[in-house]
């Protein structure tokens, strides 16, 4: 039997990033950091990377191998 799904409280920025990642991935290929950054409204790529690494640590997103331009996806 399936376990009940518990609601998860995400920081607002993480939710924004997840929604943008999902929306941009529907184009058929994973978005770049710059595309995600623009969709979320962040100015610094390093801040976008920080948000994505947090999602990755939480198990909500999967990052690309080292030095790959595209590859972030929702887990």
What is the CATH number for 36? 1.10.10
> In order along the chain (75 residues), what is the average pLDDT of each group of 10 residues?
66 92 89 92 91 91 81 83
Q: Domain for residue 6, yes or no?
A: no
pLDDT given for residue 39 in this prediction: 93
Q: Domain for residue 30, yes or no?
A: yes
pLDDT given for residue 2 in this prediction: 65
pLDDT given for residue 38 in this prediction: 94
pLDDT given for residue 75 in this prediction: 80
Long-range contacts (CB closer than 8 Å, 24 or more residues apart) made by 37-42 = 40/13, 40/16, 41/16
pLDDT given for residue 35 in this prediction: 92
Into how many domains does the chain fold?
1
Q: Domain for residue 58, yes or no?
A: yes
Q: Domain for residue 1, yes or no?
A: no
pLDDT given for residue 15 in this prediction: 92
Domain range holding 26?
12-65
Q: Domain for residue 20, yes or no?
A: yes
CA 25, CA 31: separation in Å to the nearest integer?
6
* 40 within 8 A of 26, measured Cβ to Cβ: no
């Amino acid at each position: 039997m399936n376990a009940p799904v518990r609601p998860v409280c995400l920081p607002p920025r993480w939710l924004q990033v997840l929604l943008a990642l999902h929306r941009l991935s529907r184009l058929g290929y994973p978005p770049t950091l710059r595309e995600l950054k623009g969709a979320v409204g962040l100015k610094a790529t390093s801040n976008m990377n920080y948000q994505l690494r947090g999602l990755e640590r939480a198990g909500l997103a999967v990052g690309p191998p080292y030095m790959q331009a595209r590859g972030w996806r929702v887990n």
